[in-house]
Amino acid sequence: MSQPYTIQRASFRQGLSWLPASAEMMRGGFRPLLGIAALWLLVSLIGFVPLIGQLIIVIITPLLTAGVLLAFDRLGEQRIPPPTTLFAGWRDPVRRNSLLTLGLFMLGGAMAAALILFSWLGSQLGQEQLQALLSQESPEAMAEALTGISIGGGVLLAALVMGLVLAGLYFSVALVMFGRAPAARAFITSIKAVLTNWLAFIGYLIALFAIAMGLGVILVLISTFLTLALGTVGAFITQILMLLGMMLFQILLAGAQYLAFAQIFGWSPGLDDEDEPGPAVPL
């Protein structure tokens, strides 16, 4: 990718098309992407490790996402990405360090947003009310604690911080993976790209909402049917299907992320320095 990065403008209609186009790519390469999703699900079990599990997941999420982006890039070249493509970002020390730095950015942004929110709430709540809100043990206590609280300023500021972090992460993973950009530069460039293409992202969010609602309804219907038909076994199968469905949904979002990056930054499939290309996809 040439330097400096050229940010192109995408239209509202193009933003609407990112998710459907990602679904079409998934349909064509479903088996390899299913293997990657299953491996990602396995790695996500780290989150159950007490104290540090969730922190590790947050930090390595950009690294894993980079592997999924590369998988879509390989599909664009008519290649089959193996499941280990998920860890492609780890192989190159330059990319690895930048991607882990992005994970730290994500962690820091989430902590800053939470600190802002709880500081705002803490200035208006007593200690007992704040403890009831954080423990979430009593819905009645939570409702009582939130009664009469002005949440506008704190919520807006926390949302702004988190929004900037998400905007900075959206394209920065691809900029590191495909352009070997330094983490800070990729983060800032990503924010500029998102703000420049705000109209396209409105279209993307509309499509995301519609697809999420549709998938949610389908999962509820499947869950209800399996639970009524098979009882406890059906409930167990439902949990497995929901976990796998969530991972496939993350793959779908990553595909849309890759397509948006390719369109806005003018990227064409083909990462020259990958050591282990997959075999050609049979047409």
Dist CA 82 CA 279 (whole Å): 9
Mean of all residue pLDDT scores within the chain: 86
Look at residues 161, 56, 168 and name the one whose alpha carbon lies nearest to residue 119. 161
Q: How far is Cα 97 from Cα 106, in angstroms, rounded to an integer? A: 14
More confident site: 108 or 118: 108
Which of 55-59, 93-97, 127-131 has the lowest average pLDDT?
Answer: 127-131
Q: How confident is the model at residue 226 (pLDDT cuts 50, 70, 90)?
A: confident
- Residue 25 CA to residue 262 CA, distance in Å, equals 14
> What is the C-alpha separation between 153 and 89, in angstroms, rounded?
39
Of 254, 270, 186, give the one whose Cα is nearest residue 7: 186
Beta bridge partners of 79: 280
Question: Which tokens sit at 176?
Answer: 């590191």
Residue 63: pLDDT band (50, 70, 90) is very high
Q: In this prediction, what percent of the chain has a pLDDT beyond 90? A: 59
Band of the pLDDT at 140, cuts 50, 70, 90? low
Tokens at 194, concatenated: 């998102």
Say which residue, 192 or 51, is predicted with more confidence: 192
Residue 114 to residue 109: CA distance in whole angstroms: 9
pLDDT single digits (tens) 244-278: 888 889 999 999 999 999 999 999 887 655 444 44
Q: Residue 131 and residue 160: Cα distance in Å, rounded?
A: 25
In our burial notation (b when 16+ CB lie closer than 10 A, e otherwise), range 121-153 reads beeebeeebeebbeeeeeeebbeebeeeeeeee
Q: How far apart are CA 74 and CA 77, in angstroms?
A: 5
Of 80-89, 151-160, 205-214, least confident by mean pLDDT is: 151-160
Cis peptide before 139 (omega within 30 of 0): no
In the numeric block, the tokens 């993350």 are attached to 250
DSSP 3-state assignment of 79?
A: strand
pTM of the predicted model, to two decimals?
0.85
Distance, CA of 113 to chain centre: 18
- Tallying the residues shown for the chain, one arrives at 283
For helices 12-28 and 53-76, angle between their N-to-C axes, nearest 10 degrees: 90
Cα→Cα distances 18→104, 182, 201, 204, 216, Å:
27, 26, 10, 7, 20
Q: How far apart are CA 197 and CA 11, in angstroms?
A: 8
Residue at token pair 């009593």: 138
**149 touches 125 (CB < 8 A):** yes
CA dihedral over 58, 59, 62, 68, signed as positive or negative: negative
